[in-house]
Every structure is written in C-alpha cells, then in structure tokens.
Amino acid sequence: MARRGQMKLNAFLHPTGHHIAAWRHPQATADAGVNFDHYVELARTAERGTFDAVFLADSAAVRDQNIDSASRVARYVVHFEPLTLLSGIAAVTRHIGLIATATTTYNEPIHIARKFASLDHISKGRAGWNLVTSSGEVEAFNFSRDQHLAHADRYDRAREFAQVVTGLWDSWEDDAFVRDKASGHYFDPAKLHVLNHKGPHFAVRGPLNVARSPQGRPVLVQAGSSEAGKELAAATAEVIFTAAQTLDEARAFYADVKGRLARHGRAPDTLKILPGVSPIVGRTAEEADEKFAILQELIHPAVGLSLLSQMLGGVDLSGYPLDGPLPDLPESNAAKSRQKLLVDLARRENFSIRQLYQWIAGARGHWTIRGSAHDIADQLETWFVNEAADGFNVMPPYLPGGLDDFVDLVVPELRRRKLFREHYEGRTLRENLGLPYPKHPSTDAAPEPETLAHAG
C-alpha cells in the first residue's frame, strides 16, 4: 500500500540562491546578504506557499580563504546573523516557521537556550534550532583557537550541549508565572527548576531567565549524516536535514535513522527526515534546461575548484589538472559524510575534477532536479511514498525567481495530488510539522529539583 499523508517543506535560503554562481544571475539581488527587504519578500513567498519554515544556514567566518575565488562569490562572505534576521522576519509574518543554524562548537549553551527561547516568544511559537558542529577549520581562528576540534570531540560536546540547552528550556513549568498582583506573587516558586548541570564539557547552574516558550521548546533540528551525526539525531532531533543522491541512498538513510529511535524511547513520527533538493522548474522541461544552462555558464573555474576543495575537507587540488580524475584523498576532519558522498560519486560516474565541481555547483552535493512542475512533483512524490523522505528542504538555485517558480508551479501540483497542505494546520511550527508538545519533566514524578536559594 502506498504511503499516505502529506509531505513537509522548508525553504532553505542562501542569500542569492544555492547555485554557486547565483549572484551573477540577471534576476538576482546582488546585495541580498545584507538586504532585509529581500528576505522579507522570500519569507512571505514561502508563507504564501504554506511552507512549514524558512531555514538559514550560518558560518562565523568567511569560508573561502582563497582571495581570487572569495572575491567572486556571494555565499558566506557577508550576510546577516540569522537570529537577528529571523527576529525581524517574525514581526512581518504570521505562520511560517523560523529555523536558524547555531553551532555547538563555538557557542555556550546558555547563549543558544536564551536566544532561541526569545525567538519562540517573539514569533509566538515558530522557532527552530538547527544544531550543528562547525565543520570549517577557518571558524576556529575566530575563536582563539589555532586548530579545529576533532570530529569525535565535536559530537561528544554537541550531545552534552543539547542536553544542557533542553534542560535550560525546562527551567520553568508552563504555568509558573502567575503574575498575581493581589497576592504579590509573580511566579510560583514550586514551578521553578534549577538545572545545576555538571558534565565533562559544561557546568551550568541555571535557571534560564526566559519563561518556557509557546512550543514548550523550540523545534530541534540537526543536519549531520555521519555515524555520529545520525546517532545524535536519533537521540535529540525532531527534524533532520540530509543529503542523498538516489532513491536507494535516501531510503537506506531513512530506515537507518528511524530504526535508531526505539533505542531512545521514541516513535518514528517524532522525527521528520527532510533531504535537500534543489529544483530548477520550468513551464516545460526545455525551459528548465535553459535556466540550468544559464547558471552553469556563470561558474568561474576558480570558484568551482575552491568550492570542491572546501567540501572535500579543505583538500588542496590546485596541483591537479581540472580535466583529470579526482586523486585519492586523506580522510577529512571536517565534513566526513559529504566528503564520502562526493568521492563515491566521482568514482561511480568517472567524473573529472571539473565535472565534479560543475556537478556540485548547484547544491553542494544535494539532490538537484529539473523539469516541469509535473516532472518535479513526480520525483518528490516517488521519494515520499517510498519512505525516503518525510518532506524536503527546498533549496532554490537562484532567488527570488527559483522560489517563486516552486511556489507558483510545483506547490499547486502537489496540492492537486493531495501531497501538500492547502492551509496551515496549527499556530506553531511544532503543530504544523505534526510534532508532539514536549511535556515538562516535572510531570514524570521526577525528584524535586533544588531551589534557587540552595542550588550550588
């Protein structure tokens, strides 16, 4: 029997789009990274299309350290800090979820807990935190380090980090703040819970000085596909973003991660798996091909080679011929799963270095498809009904046109097939994703927490 239900859709927004040459597109807003009106337009378009959320990636560094290629790209050069941007967008939208990336490698749990709880209050329950461990070596240099933390150490820290953040989000019960002017009680002392966490990486007393948020907790998103990343997602995440190229790969990942949930006492539908997809949509297949060709012609070789080097973990490929094969590479300490995906692809397709960077230029290893709205819907439906995805992280190749095309052409086709909503089901991001409200731990007859006066 074919799978029933409706898919979930996020709009993953890079400033000018996901294609590496998107900023050069004739319709692109070249200053998009620091253009608030541009982002407001995108968020309202996604909301018009009843997307579940907009999602912003982030980096605390200019990723490309090669001045020739860096001077030719718009991605990760100058762009808004995402939580600041989403707070502004919250004020001019009503339904769309607001998901931002924040790294556990170069933050403290109290910062993340406080900022995302605040965003959840400001947006009336639409916030989501994309938990990542920084993969780029260059970020280390902006945080008083001379090298990146090892991959295993980053994930060990991330697990404890997530534990502390969720604990801080539970500092107050839902009805702790009585604000009774007559009695003089602002909050009920019995409904305050001091965390007092002590672990290998963190010692955090608490409580959080933000009330429990409208969703109970912001939605927790995770974006790692390595073995450590999958295990972290199974333990903590409610949404996972991933990259897959084929239906078989996506089904295997889906079954693997969903199969881990029972060990953590979780039901399969408490985690939504959303692979990235970069759709190039035309009114005909020929028009979509023409749109793709325009973007591909705008790739500068220095930019393509630098992007590939970054995604392979910082490997220097400058000494190899562009039209020769990808050499054998050392294992990366950065993005391990993405390096393996690209090496496997190059070997399977017999790609040269040039062909490989042309192939990733659209979406950096995510699934790239093109065609008419009917063609695109067919492919998304195949993955959804065959349990390769619960929905998709839609990555428009250029903006605003790529998002407009999807909302105006593909969304109506998905609705016609009863695969996507006509209207928002709920008030919060959690409700629209079909995720349960997290009950406060105090309802589980846990031991009484320390009082604020006695916490040590």
Cα gap 80→317, rounded to integer Å: 31
> Helix %, strand %, coil % for the chain, to 5?
40, 15, 45
Virtual torsion, Cα 23, 25, 31, 33, nearest 10 deg: -40
Which parts of 261-372 fold into alpha helices (H)?
285-297, 301-311, 336-349, 353-360
Cα gap 118→113, rounded to integer Å: 8
pTM across the whole model:
0.88
Determine the pLDDT at residue 232. 86
Determine the pLDDT at residue 64. 62
Determine the pLDDT at residue 295. 92
User: Is there a contact between 100 and 60 (Cβ–Cβ < 8 Å)?
Assistant: no
> What is the DSSP pairing of strand 197-198 with strand 203-204?
antiparallel
Q: Which residues of the chain have pLDDT under 70?
A: 1-2, 63-66, 68-70, 74-76, 135-136, 144, 147-148, 332-336, 445-456
Q: In this structure, what token pair is assigned to residue 310?
A: 């970054």
DSSP class of residue 219 equals E
Q: How far is CA 316 from CA 145, 154, 319, 338, 360, in A?
A: 22, 24, 8, 16, 17
Cα gap 96→400, rounded to integer Å: 17
Q: In this structure, what token pair is assigned to residue 95?
A: 């339904």
Q: For residue 254, give the 3-state DSSP assignment.
A: helix
Tell me whether residue 340 is exposed, middle or buried, using C-beta atoms within 10 angstroms of its C-beta: 0 to 12, 13 to 18, 19 or more. middle
Tell me whether residue 130 is exposed, middle or buried, using C-beta atoms within 10 angstroms of its C-beta: 0 to 12, 13 to 18, 19 or more. buried
Determine the pLDDT at residue 340. 82
The tens digit of pLDDT for each residue in 317-344 reads 888 998 999 988 877 666 667 788 888 8
Q: Which domains does the chain have, with CATH numbers?
A: 8-288+366-439 (3.20.20.30), 300-360 (no CATH)
User: Is there a contact between 270 and 301 (Cβ–Cβ < 8 Å)?
Assistant: no
Q: In this structure, what token pair is assigned to residue 361?
A: 């230029």
Q: Which amino acid is at 407?
A: V
User: Is there a contact between 279 and 270 (Cβ–Cβ < 8 Å)?
Assistant: no
